[in-house]
Chain A
Amino acid sequence: MLRRLTAILIIVALAVWPQPEAAGSSARSSSAAAAEQGTATVPLVIVVNRSNPVNELSQAELRKIFLGSRSHWANGRRITLVMRDPSDLERKTILRDVCGMNEDQFKNHFLHGLFTGEILVSPKILSTPAGVRKFIFNVPGAIGYLRISDLDDSIKVVRIDELLPEDKGYKLHVLSQAGN
């Protein structure tokens, strides 16, 4: 009986064995799909406080930061994650292309992480690009994202996988406002 049940369990497990859900793979496809549909996109840039010594992050590091599994910068300062409102396109882009999750999954992930103590703080929610800029300017450990058109000199852009937003192959793009 035990053997039979184990066999059933293995068969079921194999049947539902997941295909890899590589975060970031959808970024290319979404950009490509947008291009195919003739929809304009603009780069979404990752920004930090100017005093932050970090200039570059890999996609994997970015995912860890946005999922709260990495909570400190290399200099020991605590990471404060800045997110936009759930309705914002920029947030949806980050969730899809960096976290590989939808809104509900992201919320559950943070709730679970806070519950276990693995995640120290939940993200700071700000509703405007100006608010994001101001917050990141004032909080040394903050990290967030903005459309490239919302950038100014008060904050610093971080390279992702060695690429700047204007470089070819940069993965994070969001539909332009006109396309909304």
Chain B
Amino acid sequence: MRLSRQIVRRSIGRIVLMSCLIVLLGSTLRAQQASDGQVVDKATLQLLMARIDQLEARVRQLEAERQRSITENGLAPNTAASLPESAAATPVPESTTSQTTAAAMSPPSNAQEPEQNQFENAMSDRMDISKTLLRIRGFGDISLHGDTRKGDTTSFSLGQLDLFVTSDVSDRFKFIGEIVFEAGASNYYGVTSGSANTFGVDVERYLLQYSHNDYFNISAGRVHTAIGYYNTAYHHSTWLQTTTGRPFLFDFEDHGGILPIHTVGVSASGFIPSGRLGLHYVAEVGNGRASRTPLVEEPVQNEIDDQNHKALNFAAFARPEAIPGLQAGFSVYRNVLAPANAPKVGETILAGHAVLIRPRYEWLNEALLDRHAVAGTSRVFNTPGFYSQVSKQFGDYRPYLRYQYVNVARNEPVFPDVALRHGPSVGLRFDASESVALKLQYDYTFLRSQACVSALNLQIGFTF
């Protein structure tokens, strides 16, 4: 019995010591926080709170053991109750791992259990260097596609398998990545490379984002160029999009797209103080796209720019409070392409958009002008393009309609193969579950000097 009392007293003494330490540490931290809010971050506070929770649980456990011991050893309950409240504290040894501590704690059967577990997990994740703090969200799609183009066959197709990776590097730094596994050959400005049916891997986004406040965020790495709306709204996920694919105006570079969809460089963005108008800005500087034509390699200059001149892009848009879901804005992109053995080409892309996105409605409208001016001559090639897309949700069904248009001059020096193409698309999206969407889309495309193409696409898009 004496031994049992000694154990209890020793345990109590440890808890008292640990409690004092925690209180001291807590008050010190709070004092630091008051004087300099930047010193103690949220994660640290969470860790400390988790530690306190563990200790509180340990106290409860030891108190229960003490009570049991008292009862077993015939001590009068009032004797135990007369012990000072502060004496009921035993520190948890520092060397104890978070897992064993958690196991030893025997979670209290009260309503705070889930929160406590969250804090424990957060702490163990943070402290265990063998674990990563990566979060991965996947997107994918599988299609059955057929069209009337000569030589095309009706095929099942695996779409892009998109792994969206994020990690909170610290309170203000965040990593964002998009790793895409994609089957099929690449098509850069009409030049096909690679072979069909083989998978390749592309790192489509790869950026470190620093968030200073709502008015200034800066990212470095490979980003989607802030030209228009669609390019930065949907990235590589078809599940997020209403339709089965992007408008051909915003097709990816390796799908024959005409725009510099990706840029490697630096991007700053944020609010512009404007009250209820809700103005935002994006300013980017980067390598731009490669100048060589014909181009059979990756046009996104991930590692080396083929010239010292840098591509610049500035975008501004408004999200007025008065009309929830409305976004209207413009962007201006400027670059100089320097093809080998050919005059330089000045590229200016002017884009404007007005979109209305609400939970049940969607109306996207974008127009742009891609202007190529050949240096030393008066030759200027203007490529206009636009699309308009509207959809409305009826329960799990969302019918949609899109009309798109792009017109590239016959002797355009950069992408002469695109030519004129325009036409409507109609489709129906059915959300089979909150993570799976089934889409059926019919496209009718008019082409310059070629037969019109009808296409039907059945697609299942999902996130996981």
Interface positions of A (Cβ within 8 A of B) = 1-2, 5-6, 8-9, 12-13, 16-18, 20-23, 51, 60, 69-72, 75-78, 80, 100-102, 104-105, 107-108, 111-112, 114-117, 120-121, 126-128, 130-131, 134-135, 138-141
Q: Is the CB of A117 within 8 A of B112?
A: no
Measured between alpha carbons, how far is A111 from B405 in the docked complex, in Å?
30
Contacting residues, chain B, for A12 (C-beta < 8 A): 390, 401
Cross-chain pairs A/B with CB under 8 angstroms, 21 sampled: A12-B401, A13-B363, A13-B390, A18-B356, A21-B359, A72-B214, A75-B37, A76-B212, A78-B172, A102-B359, A104-B434, A114-B137, A115-B137, A116-B233, A117-B219, A121-B168, A126-B115, A128-B111, A139-B42, A140-B42, A141-B42
The contact of B164 among A8, A72, A100, A115, by CB within 8 Å, is A115
Q: Is the CB of A18 within 8 A of B390?
A: no
Measured between alpha carbons, how far is A130 from B56 in the docked complex, in Å?
15
The contact of B46 among A5, A71, A139, by CB within 8 Å, is A139
How far, in Å, is B159 (CB) from chain A's closest CB? Answer: 16
Contacting residues, chain B, for A71 (C-beta < 8 A): 211, 214
Q: Is the CB of A140 within 8 A of B33?
A: yes
Measured between alpha carbons, how far is A15 from B260 in the docked complex, in Å?
35
Q: In this assembly, does B213 line the interface, its C-beta being within 8 Å of a C-beta of chain A?
A: yes
Q: In this assembly, does B166 line the interface, its C-beta being within 8 Å of a C-beta of chain A?
A: yes
Q: Is the CB of B171 within 8 A of A112?
A: no
Contacting residues, chain A, for B158 (C-beta < 8 A): none
Question: Contacts A12-B401, A51-B33 hold; do A100 and B324 have CB atoms under 8 A apart?
Answer: yes
Contacting residues, chain B, for A17 (C-beta < 8 A): 361, 363
The contact of A111 among B137, B361, B388, by CB within 8 Å, is B137
Q: 1/0 contact trace for B234-278 toward A, CB 8 Å?
A: 010100100000000000000000000000000000000000100
Measured between alpha carbons, how far is A41 from B209 in the docked complex, in Å?
43
Q: Is the CB of A131 within 8 A of B359?
A: no
How far, in Å, is B452 (CB) from chain A's closest CB? Answer: 10
Contacting residues, chain B, for A126 (C-beta < 8 A): 114-115, 118
8 Å CB contacts to A: which residues of B362-420? Answer: 363, 388, 390-392, 401, 403, 405
Q: Is the CB of A107 within 8 A of B114?
A: no
Contacting residues, chain A, for B166 (C-beta < 8 A): 114
The contact of B37 among A6, A77, A100, A130, by CB within 8 Å, is A77
Contacting residues, chain B, for A80 (C-beta < 8 A): 42
Measured between alpha carbons, how far is A101 from B359 in the docked complex, in Å?
7
Q: Is the CB of B213 within 8 A of A72?
A: yes
**6 pairs of A and B residues whose beta carbons are closest in the complex:** A131-B115, A18-B361, A16-B392, A105-B359, A128-B111, A72-B213
Measured between alpha carbons, how far is A141 from B219 in the docked complex, in Å?
23
Known contacts A20-B323, A140-B45; 13 additional CB pairs below 8 A are: A6-B403, A12-B390, A18-B360, A22-B324, A72-B211, A76-B212, A100-B324, A101-B359, A116-B233, A120-B211, A127-B114, A139-B46, A140-B42
Q: 1/0 contact trace for B18-50 toward A, CB 8 Å?
A: 000000000000000110010000100110110
Measured between alpha carbons, how far is A128 from B401 in the docked complex, in Å?
45
8 Å CB contacts to A: which residues of B46-78? Answer: 46, 48-49
How far, in Å, is B219 (CB) from chain A's closest CB? Answer: 7
Q: 1/0 contact trace for B164-181 toward A, CB 8 Å?
A: 101010011010100000
Question: Contacts A18-B358, A121-B168 hold; do A115 and B33 have CB atoms under 8 A apart?
Answer: no
Q: In this assembly, does B463 line the interface, its C-beta being within 8 Å of a C-beta of chain A?
A: yes
The contact of B114 among A5, A16, A108, A131, by CB within 8 Å, is A131
| CB closest residue in chain A, given B53 | A134
Question: Contacts A21-B358, A107-B434, A115-B235 hold; do A5 and B424 have CB atoms under 8 A apart?
Answer: yes
Q: In this assembly, does B197 line the interface, its C-beta being within 8 Å of a C-beta of chain A?
A: no
| CB closest residue in chain A, given B233 | A116
Contacting residues, chain B, for A1 (C-beta < 8 A): 446
Contacting residues, chain A, for B176 (C-beta < 8 A): 117
Q: In this assembly, does B422 line the interface, its C-beta being within 8 Å of a C-beta of chain A?
A: yes
Q: 1/0 contact trace for B311-336 toward A, CB 8 Å?
A: 00000000101011100000000000
Q: Is the CB of B358 within 8 A of A128?
A: no
8 Å CB contacts to A: which residues of B102-143? Answer: 111-112, 114-115, 118, 137
Measured between alpha carbons, how far is A80 from B424 in the docked complex, in Å?
44
Measured between alpha carbons, how far is A75 from B37 in the docked complex, in Å?
10
Contacting residues, chain A, for B233 (C-beta < 8 A): 112, 116
Question: Contacts A72-B214, A105-B359 hold; do A16 and B390 have CB atoms under 8 A apart?
Answer: yes
Q: In this assembly, does B4 line the interface, its C-beta being within 8 Å of a C-beta of chain A?
A: no
Q: In this assembly, does B148 line the interface, its C-beta being within 8 Å of a C-beta of chain A?
A: no
Q: Is the CB of A116 within 8 A of B232?
A: yes
How far, in Å, is A58 (CB) from chain B's closest CB? Answer: 9
Contacting residues, chain B, for A13 (C-beta < 8 A): 363, 388, 390
